Structure 1
Amino acid sequence: MSVFSNKSDGSGAGSGAKGFREAKGNLSLDSVTKQFGDFTAVDDLSLEVPRGSFFALLGPSGCGKTTTLRMVAGLEQPSRGRIRIGDTDLTGSRPYERPVNTVFQSYALFPHLTIVDNVAFGPKRRGAKDAAKLAADALELVQMTHLAARKPSQLSGGQQQRVAVARALVNRPEVLLLDEPLGALDLKLRRQMQVELKRIQTEVGLTFIHVTHDQEEAMTMADTVAVMNLGRIEQLGHPEVLYDLPKTTFVANFLGQSNLGTGQVTGTDGDNLVVEVAGTTVRIPKERSTVSDGAITFGVRPEKVRISDTQPEGAGNDVKAKVVDVSFTGVATQFLVTTPSGATWGVYEQNLDVARNHLRPGDDVWLEWDSGHAFGVPVDDAGAAAGAAAADEDAAQPVAAS
């Protein structure tokens, strides 16, 4: 087992006598609020991160995720609320007193020191007699032993990122904070590092909290994702659950893409709600809707929709549309269509056949989906617009803002 691993430890908490740095257990935020003058950056946020998990705070710029991370690190103090690890209250303690380390997007390596000396810096300052051994083990964990004698300027961005992780892990923190650590890397290297960070987290068994605006990054690495908006958590859960069953229009728009329509619940049909959306009758499983009557926003993901130039047999869960754009992307073909209500929908069709797609802009088509793939959320025009705008902004700006 790695010398950095916490897997063999119990979940007992450190007492005040042992000091803040001995705290062990789940990370808890209890009704935490952070205000800067009249602006509330984090609003009454309560959260528990299980020990040893990979947790992601996901959201657009300005949603409060980085402020939350800075409060966990001790770089900011909450205006109200408490921050605990296990039974140890860290509120008010200083950053160096906490069993927490941060990997920043800028890496912040010392340019005049070798890689091994960068990693050994922390243990040496603590007076650890085995600082050299600890640094060597950390470099081996991130597969950088062969570059130990180089200076940071002689490394690529991805290599510097690995060193920054090693320098944080060598201190054996209870919690490792990752503040947009992959934002400065190109797309291919970013994807490689996603896999590497997950491997490292699994091997060492530490609690990782990853702050990012990149939904693919969060879903690829994290066991649990919290989607933040306006200082609050909109929805929290496993990545697959968040994507498949969003609970708000903001999450439906920000996390991936959704085809949405506002309608009215007109009745029930067994386990389904019957909904009238722009003159079309659709069905939504009751268990997949947070609304049971009145106004409702119907949604279905683009890859769940089938497109055809002939009307499907049977009634319900289909709508006529007109093709406005066709894009071949290799593994799939993406269609943009307009429905009779004027809404623009997306359809992703995987390229499984050798025959080329024959649909072209201007063609009349029919869209069909299984009711089990639909979802219902409360009507929230502001949330829908904010989620769509945030998703568009982050897609256009791959390098993260804090």
Structure 2
Amino acid sequence: MAVREFAERGADLELVGIQKRFPGFTAIEELDLTIPAGAFFALLGPSGCGKTTTLRLVAGLEEPTQGRILIGGKDVTATKSHQRPVNTVFQSYALFPHMTIIENVAFGLKRRRIGDALGRAHEALRLVELDHLAQRRPQQLSGGQQQRVALARAIVNRPALLLLDEPLGALDLKLRRQMQLELKTIQEEVGLTFLHVTHDQEEAMTMADTVAVMNKGAIEQMGAPELLYELPRTSFVANFLGQSNLFTGRVADTTSSAITVAAGGHRIVVPVSRAQRHQGEITVGVRPEKVALHVEEPDDDADRNLLGPGRIIDVSFSGVSTQYIVEVPGVGTVVVFAQNVGSGPMASVGAEVWLSWAIAHGFGLDDGPSETGRFPADDSTRSIAAQHREALVSELEEN
């Protein structure tokens, strides 16, 4: 089975006016989304934001209260789960412990009486570089290897769409990062459409071509990972996708290229092109790694913002960088990430410091600072993994 044979089945996914209500709350407000064929797309958000409900709707395990679901241009809204060209890779792997690896991968093909099931299963295992372990059982494999088996079992069915439900959550940090790169490489090789649901910001940014940040049942912002990180539109995105220093004040001056905001007795300048709003009270921000820490007051620089003096109230060493928390009168605490290029922290708790950053690195939001919006997760329904596992067990017992 050639890699291109997998790719031939890739299809786009379109959600049109999707709404999902449960008793007592609305999980999805109104969702319109198009994922092109062959894309690696991530739905990112906190628990209860609606991302898992969206995946369940696409998988056919929930019915939308309103709206349509199209895969490859075909309306599958009323189509049963097992009749959709969709497979799911779970965090729990859902492998049969009493079967060998090759039997696990070939199970679905044999169930549907597809010819050369074992040959296709071996090809899928070769794709994830595990064919040499085909005769072992799941408990004889590491967590990362089991995850690759689960991926092979999903790919072997040649789905038009592959759903990834927090697939790396059970792995340790080092293995998770390794699997992130491997999953991305496999997706590029097979050309399938991947929809990845996760709460892990780094995972989404590392793997996906496009990330949609969900909040309270709606997409807050969508785009390439670097765009969302460098130019967040709202305080929710700015704080959920990494960390941000946010300052709120009134616009004191505007030119054709820059906006000056008066915040707590300081003047902070942002480019017009990087600001969502240009008048009234607005919130501007900068990422902690863009901020430089100075133990002496630096000279004025027309291209840089300057805050201070302030006082360091916390220092955290994390290996490649050191985090400083600086209390600046008028604006509160500011977080700084400094690369550890020397022998240790450049300043200690209690030290007086100044902070600066390039004007070009700032951004302006479309709203003010707010707490992360959350609402109850749907506990009345079982997980996708549990339902899928039960379905497989039922099929096995029938045969």
Q: Which residue of 1 aligns with 2:187?
A: 201
- Once residues 362 and 235 of structure 2 are traced to their aligned partners in structure 1, the CA distance between those partners, rounded to angstroms, is 13
Letter of the structure 2 residue corresponding to residue 70 of structure 1: R
Tell me, which stretches of 5 or more residues in structure 2 are unaligned? Answer: 376-385, 387-399
Counterpart of 2:100 in structure 1: which amino acid? T
Q: 2 CA distance for matches of 1:338 and 1:306? A: 15
In structure 2, how many angstroms separate the alpha carbons of the residues matched to 1:33 and 1:170? 32
Deviation of 1:103 (Å): 0.7
CA contact (8 A) 1:182 1:193 kept: yes
Q: Evaluate the alpha carbon distance shift between residue 214 and residue 5 of structure 1 in structure 2; reply closer, same or farther with a 3 A threshold.
A: farther
Unaligned runs of 5+ in 1: 10-21, 391-401
- Residue 99 of structure 1 is matched in structure 2 by 85
- Checking the alignment, whether the CA contact within 8 Å between 1:222 and 1:239 is kept in structure 2 is yes
- Which residues of 2 match residues 213-228 of structure 1 at below 5 A? 213-228=199-214
Give the match for residue 397 of structure 1. none
State how 1:3-402 maps to structure 2 within 5 Å: 3=3, 5-7=5-7, 9=8, 25-314=11-300, 317-320=305-308, 321-341=310-330, 343-353=332-342, 356-381=344-369, 384-386=370-372
Equivalent-residue separation in structure 2 for 1:342 and 1:270 (angstroms): 26
Give the match for residue 2 of structure 2. 2
- C-alpha contact 2:100 2:138 (8 A) present in aligned 1: yes
Q: Which moved more, 1:31-40 or 1:45-54?
A: 31-40
Q: How many angstroms apart in 2 are the aligned matches of 1:373 and 1:358?
A: 23
Task: Return closer, same or farther for 1:357/1:104 CA change in 2, 3 Å cut-off.
Answer: closer
Q: Distance in 2 between matches of 1:353 and 1:269?
A: 40
Write the letter of the residue equivalent to 1:363: A
SS in structure 1 at match of 2:371? helix
Offset at 1:4? 5.7
| Residues 92, 367 of structure 1: alpha-carbon distance in 2 compared, 3 angstrom cutoff | same
Supply the distance in 1 between the matched residues of 2:72 and 2:34 (Cα, whole angstroms): 10
Structure 1 length as normaliser, TM-score? 0.89
Deviation at 1:341, TM superposition (A): 2.1
Contact 2:213–2:237 under 8 Å retained in 1? yes
C-alpha distance after superposition, 1:341-392 (max 9, x if no partner): 25211111112345x44411111111011111001113334xx3217x99xx
Provide Cα deviations, 1:161-218, integer angstroms capped at 9, x if missing partner.
1111010000000000000011111111111111110111011000011100000000
The alignment's TM-score, normalised by the length of structure 2, stands at: 0.90
1:242 aligned counterpart, secondary structure: helix
Report the Cα distance in structure 2 between the residues aligned to 1:324 and 1:339, rounded to whole angstroms: 10
User: Which contiguous aligned blocks of 4+ residues in structure 1 show a shift greater than 6 angstroms?
Assistant: none
CA distances 1:56-94 after superposition (whole Å, capped 9, x unpaired): 000000000000001011111111000001320010111
Q: Deviations over 1:277-308 (max 9, x none)?
A: 11111111111111111111110000101110
Distance 1:357 1:6 in 2: 51
Aligned-residue offset at 1:230: 0.5
Find the residue that maps to 1:386 and give its secondary structure. coil
Contact 1:4 1:169 in 2 (8 A): no
C-alpha separation in 1, matches of 2:106 and 2:115: 11
Separation in 2, partners of 1:322, 1:182:
40
Q: In the TM superposition, what is the alpha-carbon distance from 1:269 to its structure 2 partner?
A: 2.7
- Paired with 2:51 and 2:180, the residues of 1 have a C-alpha distance of 19
Distance 1:291 1:122, change over 3 A: same
Secondary structure, counterpart of 1:43 in structure 2: strand
For the structure 1 residues 347 and 5, does the alpha-carbon distance in structure 2 shift closer, same or farther, using more than 3 Å as the test?
Answer: farther
- Counterparts of 1:228 and 1:313, CA distance in 2: 42
Q: Evaluate the alpha carbon distance shift between residue 345 and residue 175 of structure 1 in structure 2; reply closer, same or farther with a 3 A threshold.
A: same
CA contact (8 A) 1:2 1:203 kept: no
Distance 1:33 1:151, change over 3 A: same
**1:54 deviation in Å?**
0.5
Decide whether the 8 Å contact of 1:4 with 1:170 is kept in 2: no
Contact 1:261 1:277 in 2 (8 A): yes
**Hey, what does 1:19 align to over in structure 2?**
none
